[in-house]
């Protein structure tokens, strides 16, 4: 904060912020058939199903009056297609940010959660227990994912200081960002929802991050999926 003085009233001091908050809207991609099957996608490039396509349009319409000036997206198809639909509603072209891709799940990719548990019981126990160093046999650990996601998030926030932007991304990425903003550890069990095409708002000012709203689904048909494990 810095003081300013009104003209003609030298004894009156009004404080104004040193900077305006940067507002970031985070949108999970719309539904895919693999979401509906509880099949682990990771970085396999799966497209939206019909429900997901409707969800993407609905999210864009909901955000028309949000004052968004720039739109970013993971370059995986399910996120990129969602971002294109949102961009059509907002009059913005999305910019790809590969750093916001889903986690690389290695040997788990393509399996349902039940299949992964049956085929890789030790690995699944590490995954379910949120072991931050476990990497799915040359996939990606939570620790590595945290570094790539939060690094890009801070970069985009600095690029758009005082503005409002949107990023379309994935459930695992949202899991990381929620913990980063709230200051929770990677090992903490999840206590928040991550529905397909859900809308989430965070903000940052002077290096401080805050969570504004999370898991908004008022714009969607009932039944938006959150198939992710806790």
Catalytic residue ranges: 29, 102
Which residues contact residue 207 at a Cβ distance below 8 angstroms, ignoring those fewer than 6 apart?
A: none
Beta carbons of 101 and 76 less than 8 angstroms apart: yes
16: β partners: 2
Sign of CA dihedral 168, 172, 178, 180: negative
Two structure tokens written together for 170 = 């994935």
Which residues are bridge partners to 201 per DSSP? 25, 213
Reading phi first (left if > 0) and then psi (alpha if -120 to 50, else beta), residue 46 is in: beta
The two tokens of residue 67 are 């004052």
Residue linked to tokens 């072209």: 93
SS (H, E, C) 45-106: CCCCCHHHHHHHHHHHHHCCCCCCCEEEECCCHHHHHHHHHHHHHHCCCCEECHHHCCCCCH
């Amino acid at each position: 904060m810095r003081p300013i003085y009104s003209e003609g009233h030298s004894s009156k001091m009004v404080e104004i912020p040193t900077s305006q908050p940067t507002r970031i809207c985070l949108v999970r991609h719309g539904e895919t058939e693999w979401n509906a099957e509880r099949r682990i996608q990771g970085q396999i490039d799966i497209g939206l199903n019909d429900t997901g396509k409707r969800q993407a349009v609905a999210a864009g319409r909901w955000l028309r009056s949000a004052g968004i000036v720039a739109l970013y997206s993971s370059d995986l198809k399910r996120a990129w297609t969602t971002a294109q639909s949102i961009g059509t509603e907002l009059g913005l072209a999305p910019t790809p940010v590969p750093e916001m891709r889903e986690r690389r799940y290695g040997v788990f990719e393509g399996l349902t959660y039940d299949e992964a548990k049956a085929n890789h019981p030790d690995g699944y126990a590490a995954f379910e227990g949120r072991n931050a160093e476990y990497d799915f046999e040359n996939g990606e650990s939570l620790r590595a994912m945290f570094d790539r996601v939060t690094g890009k998030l801070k970069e985009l926030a600095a690029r758009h200081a005082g503005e409002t932007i949107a990023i379309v991304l994935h459930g695992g990425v949202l899991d990381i960002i929620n913990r980063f903003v709230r200051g929770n550890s990677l090992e903490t069990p999840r206590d928040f929802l991550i529905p397909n095409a859900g809308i989430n708002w965070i903000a940052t000012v002077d290096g401080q991050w805050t969570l504004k709203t999370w898991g908004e689904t008022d714009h969607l048909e009932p039944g938006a999926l959150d198939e992710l494990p806790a």
